[in-house]
Amino acid sequence: MRTRVKICGLTRPDDVNFSVRAGADALGFVFYKPSPRYVSPEIARGLISLVPAWVSTVGLFVNSSYDEILQVIDHVGVSHVQLHGDESEKLCERISRPVIKAIRLPTEAIIDQTMTDKFAKISNSYLECCSAVLFDSDTRTYGGSGETFNWEVLDDLISQCRGKWVLSGGLNKHNIKLAMTRFNPPFVDVSSGVELVSVDKVPGVKDHHEIEGFLKLVAGFN
């Protein structure tokens, strides 16, 4: 099965257009106001109008109410919803679009069977009502931190996800080969790993060379 790629945290028309031309399978737009990659629903609506029907568009929310989510997705027209907070299974069930639920995994903890069992239980619970779970790093921010989690937890975890999972959290051109070799994920999600670097990363401003390089590296395994 081919590994698909989502470019997340898009804020500019040029980056949207380039990601589509470069072959991204999905594009992500952040509707969490504290995020430096936040886009207003009005701006996101314009960006999504540039996206062809065969590329998925994903709205990312963090602990928003059902009414807030519904208002945004109806106005903007995203095809999928990604939830990164403490949203309940009941909330996920109410959303009319396919839902990807983020599971935040530890960045430094020693992985043991108890921890693996805990996250397997959480993942399976969400998979009863969601289209997929997304494994991300448990950091102070919600996505785009550039930090990887302890991949050891995936060794036993992904076998229980029935192919309905996404690898995220600090992916970039330096570690994607290892991720592909070790896990052959069905979907990968990259944000800060393809952002423009001056002195620091520029949140929401993508580097087209990094996008192209990342997509080519993933395609090399397909």
Q: Does pLDDT of 145 surpass 60?
A: no
In terms of residue numbers, what domain contains 84?
4-219
pLDDT at 57: 98
Q: Does pLDDT of 202 surpass 80?
A: no
Q: Does pLDDT of 109 surpass 80?
A: no
Separation of alpha carbons 74 and 165, rounded Å: 25
Q: Which residues contact 188 (CB under 8 A, 6 or more apart)?
A: 3, 4, 5, 6, 166, 167, 168, 171, 176, 179, 218
Which residues are designated catalytic?
Answer: 8, 136
Phi, psi of 62 (to 5 degrees): -135, 110
Task: Return the structure tokens found at 44.
Answer: 């996101």
How many structural domains compose the chain?
Answer: 1
pLDDT tens profile 47-61: 999 999 999 999 999
Q: Residue 108: give its domain's CATH number.
A: 3.20.20.70
Task: Return the structure tokens found at 155.
Answer: 């060794």
Lowest-pLDDT choice from 24-28, 113-117, 122-126, 206-210: 113-117
Question: What is the share, in percent, of the chain residues with pLDDT greater than 70?
Answer: 94
- Note the pTM of the prediction, 2 decimals: 0.93
| Torsion angle (degrees, nearest 10) of CA 159, 161, 165, 168 | -60
Lowest-pLDDT choice from 15-19, 61-65, 78-82, 114-118: 114-118
Task: Return the structure tokens found at 154.
Answer: 């995936």
Q: Which residues contact 167 (CB under 8 A, 6 or more apart)?
A: 134, 135, 154, 179, 183, 185, 187, 188, 189
pLDDT tens profile 149-184: 889 889 889 998 999 999 999 999 999 999 999 999
Looking at residues 20-30, what average pLDDT do you find?
98
Evaluate the CA torsion angle 87, 93, 95, 99 in order and state its sign: positive
